[in-house]
Amino acid sequence: MEREIIRTEDGSTTIHIKEWNENYHSKHGAIQEAKHVFIKNGLALFENKSVSILEIGFGTGLNAFITFIESKRMNQSIKYTGVEAFPITKEELQAMNYVDELEANEFQSVFDSMHAGEWGEINEMDSAFSLTKRQQRFEQIDDIEQFDLIYFDAFGYRVQPELWSTDIFQRMYNSLKKEGTLVTYAARGVVKRSMIEVGFKVEKLAGPPGKREMFRATKNIQNNPNANVF
């Protein structure tokens, strides 16, 4: 599918898929969205802790990079796994302006290493942050109780409804440790119903700029007799 680079309203870049009229990030601000949905409402729950994170859709690496930066401020040790079936191209990567927009020149080499690192291997960014990129389809994720936090950042329900199904959320539920948390920018009723069906407890939170609401789902093992069953 044809893709082009666009600038979002906070100045940060993203990738636009023409056929679907869908972006990798919110047009209202890629960085703002990542900070609000995944950091403020996700990572910040784990201050001063070791956190194992699963990202659904590694894409441009923006969420991973912001997580690296913020984890230093919150004194966290991070094991980050990014799943992605269709990695972006070198040209697309070069067009992303995240290091500049985040005023993170001191971490330019980290952003570069995140992308240069081999797929399927553990890449140490420093002594407190490891990144494993897995080239894999979301439909094949079968980890059991590995993660404290999931960043669920698939394309929207409008274009990929199959990725917001009970099959996928059951996989997410199974992959979380007890009391683990999933955050996503989405706030549709149909998504909430799928999450609840597999046993998640779902909260509606204020969304990032340009979006009224978003969901945070918590694993709630007592509610789900089928937990860990595919």
Binding mask 95-114 for ligand SAM (x = CB under 6 A): --------------------
In whole angstroms, the minimum distance from the beta carbon of 225 to ligand SAM comes to: 28
Residues ≥6 apart with Cβ < 8 Å to 127:
none
Q: For residue 105, which amino acid is it?
A: N
Candidate segments 44-52, 153-161, 187-195, 199-207, binder of ligand SAM by CB under 6 A: 153-161
**Residue 38 or 173 having the CB closest to ligand SAM:** 38
Q: Is 50 helix (H, G, I), strand (E, B) or coil?
A: strand
d(CA 67, CA 130): 11
Show the CA angle centred on residue 69, arms to residues 138 and 115, nearest 5°: 50
Please select the residue that binds ligand SAM; options are 24, 111, 152, 200, rule is CB under 6 A: 24
Q: How many residues bind ligand SAM (CB under 6 A)?
A: 15
Residue 208 as a binder of ligand SAM (CB under 6 A): the answer is no
d(CA 41, CA 215): 9
* Phi, psi values for residue 24, rounded to 5°: -70, -25
**Which residue minimizes CB distance to ligand SAM?**
59
Residue 57 as a binder of ligand SAM (CB under 6 A): the answer is yes
**Residue 93 or 202 having the CB closest to ligand SAM:** 93
**Residue 83 or 227 having the CB closest to ligand SAM:** 83
Ranges of H-type helices in 108-188:
108-116, 166-175
Instruction: Look at the block and give the residue holding tokens 């636009």.
Output: 16
Residue 29 as a binder of ligand SAM (CB under 6 A): the answer is no
Residue 12 as a binder of ligand SAM (CB under 6 A): the answer is no
**Residue 72 or 86 having the CB closest to ligand SAM:** 86
Q: For residue 143, which amino acid is it?
A: D
Binding mask 58-87 for ligand SAM (x = CB under 6 A): -xx-xx--------------------xxx-
Q: 80 and 130 in contact (C-beta within 8 Å)?
A: yes
Residue 154 as a binder of ligand SAM (CB under 6 A): the answer is yes
Longest dimension (CA), the chain: 49
CA atoms within 13 A on the CB side of 177: 8
In whole angstroms, the minimum distance from the beta carbon of 142 to ligand SAM comes to: 13
Helix and strand numbers, DSSP H then E, in the chain: 7, 11
Q: Which residues bind ligand SAM (CB under 6 A)?
A: 24, 57, 59-60, 62-63, 84-86, 137-139, 153-155
